[in-house]
Structure 1
Amino acid sequence: MSGGILEGKKVLVTGVLTEASIAFATARLAQEQGATLVLSNFGRALSLCQRIAKRLPQETAVVELDVTNTEHLATLADRLREQGFDRLDGVVHSIGFAPQEAMGEGFPEVAWEHAATAFQVSAWSYASLTQACRPLLANPSSVVGLTFDASVAWPVYGWMGAAKAALESTSRYVARELGPDGVRSNIVAAGPLRSMAMKSIPGSKQFEEAWEGRAPLGWSVTDTEPAGKAVVALLSDWFPATTGEIVHVDGGFHAVGV
């Protein structure tokens, strides 16, 4: 699209797996708004990512990136250069994982090894991904992550909720340190969506019912476009002085009580 709000921008979108994901909606909207993309995933998900990339409006490069693999992180900038990305104007962190043992009830009983995985993959990776991309980050540029509002405790979310709280804090620290280099860091807090991430949570149906009853604007658990639009807006030049922020895209659920 000519004249879109991401015209001429080069953006890395991590974690594209299915068309039901916020990452896919973001990638599609970003291309429609003029961005040139590179996608990433790893392991068995890499071939799924390559397949799903073909459903985007334009052909898209895909690189392998496992955020728990130090070599993948260390070589990321060089591998992006090989794909023709001499700079990055935006990075979308759509990466999160907690073992089943770390979710559900029994929060205080969870072993450190399970909680540690949740923190490494879901929170620490936001900083390590940004650092891996740092040689390519333009001034100005924008890093955007995804959360499920971590200001309160949820049923069944367990240590993933604690890891999301860490993610939100990590974004603020990245904003503080990289701001002088023109790098903005923000988080989009989306309502519950029927993505792979939500399906992996035991008992997630109760989230859907709560939102249907309480979100002032209403909420569709299958519509990823509102969250994708928010990510694209934060990647654009339309939020030049916004960093360390959490933008709620949840139909207003976070703002109301019972």
Structure 2
Amino acid sequence: MGILDGKRILVTGVTMDSSIGFAVAKVAQEQGATVLISNFGRALGITRRIAARLPQQPPVLELDVTDDEHLAQLPDQVREHVDGLDGVVHSIAYGNPETLLGGKFMTGPWPDVAQAVQVSAYSLASLSKACLPLMPSGGSVVGLTFDATVAWPAYDWMGVAKAALESCSRYLARDLGPQGVRVNLVSAGPLKTLAAKAIDGFEAIEENWSARSPLGWDENDQEPTAKAVVALLSDFFPATTGEIVHVDGGYHAMGA
């Protein structure tokens, strides 16, 4: 038996098999969940192909979290496959690497900043709201962040977007708690995902991470992060909400 036996989980933002979302979907299936995954646009075709690499091939939904029509249609899309949801994973973020990352903080234009905040933070609220009709008995929403309490080299406006995401999760925890919905984030250490590769200078963040982490850190291993997300989706955290769980080898707790 797995800790997600009988659970119905939507994992959004699954693109490559190297993504955190893919790892979450895999571990969730291994723990007994029925999983649906989503993406949109040109990436949707890639998602449909890599879905076959999961232990069980899941339904792939088209979902752009910035599109009100997509969000309105989401409950009907989900109900074509399952009769509701017990958990939702927000594995979505975007900031234009040409204008917002890699040392461009002082020159980042507002339209691109606005897009980054909408996609990376506001969408947590949009997605949660869209999924509420599917969780009448409560459930768990889990998002992914990168520690926004400090300024990182190269991360620039994505750091600001992640700070907004972290604040958003706390307000959602406040407002959705009475409906039995928990909202938490997992703050992962640097991982070699497609998104990380797009950040010019991201290696400055990765440098010495393993050496400074008490438990060490493997940038190519998404499984520890995925397991934390799955744990928060399960019934093993029934009274935890508004929390940020660090999965970074302990780096965040070290002063030097």
Tell me whether the two structures share a fold, i.e. TM-score over 0.5. Answer: yes
Partner of 1:207: 205
How far does residue 59 in structure 1 lie from its aligned partner after superposition?
A: 2.0
Matched, 1:63 2:56: no
Counterpart AA for 1:147: T
Q: Contact between 2:210 and 2:249, CA under 8 Å: does it hold in 1?
A: no
Partner of 1:79: 77
Q: Contact between 2:102 and 2:202, CA under 8 Å: does it hold in 1?
A: no
How far does residue 212 in structure 1 lie from its aligned partner after superposition?
A: 2.3
Partner of 1:160: 158
SS at match of 1:139: coil
**Structure 1 unpaired stretches of 5+:** none
C-alpha distance in 2 between matches for 1:169 and 1:76: 25
SS at match of 2:53: coil
Q: Within 5 A, what are the aligned runs for 1:1-258? A: 3-82=1-80, 84-100=81-97, 101-258=99-256
Q: Contact between 1:105 and 1:158, CA under 8 Å: does it hold in 2?
A: yes
C-alpha distance in 1 between matches for 2:9 and 2:203: 33
C-alpha distance in 2 between matches for 1:136 and 1:211: 40
How far does residue 195 in structure 1 lie from its aligned partner after superposition?
A: 0.3
Cα deviation, 1:177-200, whole Å, max 9, x if unaligned, reads 000000000000000000011111
C-alpha distance in 2 between matches for 1:112 and 1:208: 28
How far does residue 140 in structure 1 lie from its aligned partner after superposition?
A: 3.0
C-alpha distance in 2 between matches for 1:77 and 1:18: 25
SS at match of 2:86: strand
C-alpha distance in 2 between matches for 1:214 and 1:131: 39
Counterpart AA for 2:126: S
C-alpha distance in 2 between matches for 1:107 and 1:43: 28
Counterpart AA for 2:197: K
Normalised to the residue count of structure 2, the TM-score between the two structures is: 0.98
The two structures, once aligned, show a CA RMSD in angstroms of 0.9
Q: Contact between 1:42 and 1:64, CA under 8 Å: does it hold in 2?
A: yes
C-alpha distance in 2 between matches for 1:167 and 1:213: 28
**Structure 2 unpaired stretches of 5+:** none
Q: Contact between 1:89 and 1:138, CA under 8 Å: does it hold in 2?
A: no
SS at match of 2:9: strand
SS at match of 1:78: helix
How far does residue 138 in structure 1 lie from its aligned partner after superposition?
A: 4.1
Q: Contact between 1:150 and 1:161, CA under 8 Å: does it hold in 2?
A: yes
Q: Contact between 2:5 and 2:32, CA under 8 Å: does it hold in 1?
A: yes
Cα deviation, 1:92-151, whole Å, max 9, x if unaligned, reads 000000012011224132110010011000000000000111110142300000000001
Normalised to the residue count of structure 1, the TM-score between the two structures is: 0.97
How far does residue 207 in structure 1 lie from its aligned partner after superposition?
A: 1.6
Q: Contact between 1:15 and 1:94, CA under 8 Å: does it hold in 2?
A: yes
Counterpart AA for 1:42: F
- How many residues matched? 255
